[in-house]
Structure 1
């Protein structure tokens, strides 16, 4: 499902003393099957933009196209339910939204709410548990007896059980240790690759953007300031640093090498790319002891 924003503006409580404009003339395209990273500081408009992706919010002006549905300011709130099935949102700390007595019932709740039979919903629960790295032995366990990481996986399974075409991840690794964060991000990338899920990731971790995304959008004060591939955006590292957004760890290391007079073939974004460039650099110079 393609998503398109055309001149989208959004204002909270318009025509009141409390009105607050949050989005300004947003134009963007998110292609089906893509992996898009959305970055920006707190207050940049990221959360407001996210809520337009499944019509939780409608534009104050402009147009949002979600697949074959066009959302305009005057669009009725009726019959928007199918969109919320196609676009699943994983909010920060999704485990806080668990409430059923068993894992199976919690995951099955969403599909049953959309008219899926209990038998089908339980099968979906079993299938999606496998997708998030848990086996069916968890089905009858209480979600509240699980570890924090396991609870988060169950909550994500509940979103996946709706069989969305697009999954939106709002800081999905918040609060996890480095190993848990790595496992979670690799799980999402596997889902993206294996099930052709369109992914929209909101994050402040530039290493994750460099490692997984194929499109990067930078929001600042409700406006899109940069939109391109991660390599295109990160190439303007001085601008990113001036905005206190930073660059990936590998890129920062390479820039320090450049300051010392060591030129690489290209600016690396990931640890693997940096390793390749260092091997080339040592081979090219033929004297590894003097290079680093």
Structure 2
């Protein structure tokens, strides 16, 4: 399911003395089956765009097309509940949204609201737990007795229980240590590959963008400044710095090696594996030149 923004603008508290323009002239497309990263510094408009992806907000101007549904400022609310089932959002610190007495009931809550029986909802919870790295023994446990990372996995399972076609991740690794961040992101990437989900990642973590995304959209001042593949955009370290954004650690290290040894990396390495492979090749070539 594609999502397309056409000339989208959004103003908070429009028509009041407190009105504030958050978005203007937004044109972007999120293709079905893509893994898109939405980046920008605080205040760039990421959170407001995110809330348009499943019509939590309606554009003040322009249109947002979600699948075959066109949303404008004049759209009725009828049918939006079904639409929001197709686009699931994992908000920052999703564990704060847990409230049921058991893990199984918490995961089953959404499906029950869409007509499943409690038994069917619990069966779905049992099916989903392995996908988020938890086993069946968690079903009867209280979510509030779990670790922070486990609570986050339960909350994510609750979103997946709605069987979304698009999964929107709002800073999904916030507050996690490097190992926990990698485990969560690997889990999402596995879902992307094996379940055919479209993923939209809203993040400040450029290493995650480099490792997982195939498309990147840069927001600044409430509009799209540039979009393209991560490999294309990370070549422009100076421009990203002007947008108050960084580059992945591998790209930064590659640039340092280029300056020190006059190397040229082609293509630009985005992951540690890509960097190591090219470094081995260049060191081998240097050894051959000496011999």
- Tell me, yes or no, whether TM beats 0.5: yes
CA distance in 2, matches of 1:221, 1:287: 51
Q: Distance in 2 between matches of 1:149 and 1:190?
A: 18
C-alpha deviation, 1:241, in angstroms: 1.9
Offset of 1:269 from its aligned partner?
1.2
Could you say which residue in structure 2 is the equivalent of 1:178? 178
Name the structure 2 match of 1:276: 277
Answer whether contact 2:40 2:243 (CA < 8 A) is retained. no
1:16-39 CA distance string (max 9 Å, x none): 111111111111111111100011
Q: Determine if contact 1:149/1:176 at 8 Å carries over to the other structure.
A: yes
- 1:87 alignment counterpart: 87
Q: State the number of aligned residues.
A: 289
Q: CA deviation at 1:262?
A: 2.5
Aligned residue for 2:9, secondary structure, equals strand
Alignment of 1:221-232 (within 5 A): 221-232=221-232
Q: Is the Cα contact below 8 Å between 1:7 and 1:63 reproduced in 2?
A: yes
Which residue in the other structure is 1:167 paired with? 167
What residue number does 2:267 align with?
Answer: 266
Contact 1:86 1:166 in 2 (8 A): yes
Q: Distance in 2 between matches of 1:152 and 1:75?
A: 34
- Tell me if the contact between 1:264 and 1:281 (Cα under 8 Å) persists in the aligned partners: no
Question: Would the aligned equivalents of 2:41 and 2:243 in 1 still touch at CA under 8 Å?
Answer: no
Q: Following the alignment from structure 1 to structure 2, what is the Cα–Cα distance between the partners of residues 107 and 211?
A: 29
Give distance in 1, aligned partners of 2:265 and 2:230: 18
Which residue matches 1:8? 8
Alignment of 1:130-209 (within 5 A): 130-209=130-209
Unaligned runs of 5+ in 2: none
8 Å contact from structure 1 (residues 36, 201) kept in 2: yes
Q: 1:133 and 1:266 mapped to 2: Cα distance? A: 34
Distance (Å, rounded) in 1 between the aligned partners of 2:221 and 2:241: 17
Secondary structure of the equivalent of 1:127? helix
Distance (whole Å) between structure 2 residues aligned to residue 45 and residue 186 of structure 1 = 27
Q: Which residue of 1 aligns with 2:104?
A: 104
Q: CA RMSD in A?
A: 1.2
Query: How far did residue 277 of structure 1 move?
Result: 1.0
Cα deviations by residue, 1:41-92 (Å, 9 ceiling, x for unpaired): 1111101000001100000010111011110110011221001100110011
**Per-residue Cα deviation, 1:194-214 (whole angstroms, up to 9, x for no partner):** 000110001111110000000
CA shift for structure 1 position 287? 5.9
Residue deviations 1:195-238, cap 9 Å, x none?
A: 00110001111110000000000100101111111011111111
TM-score normalised per structure 2 = 0.97
| Equivalences for residues 239-258 of structure 1 within 5 A | 239-258=239-258
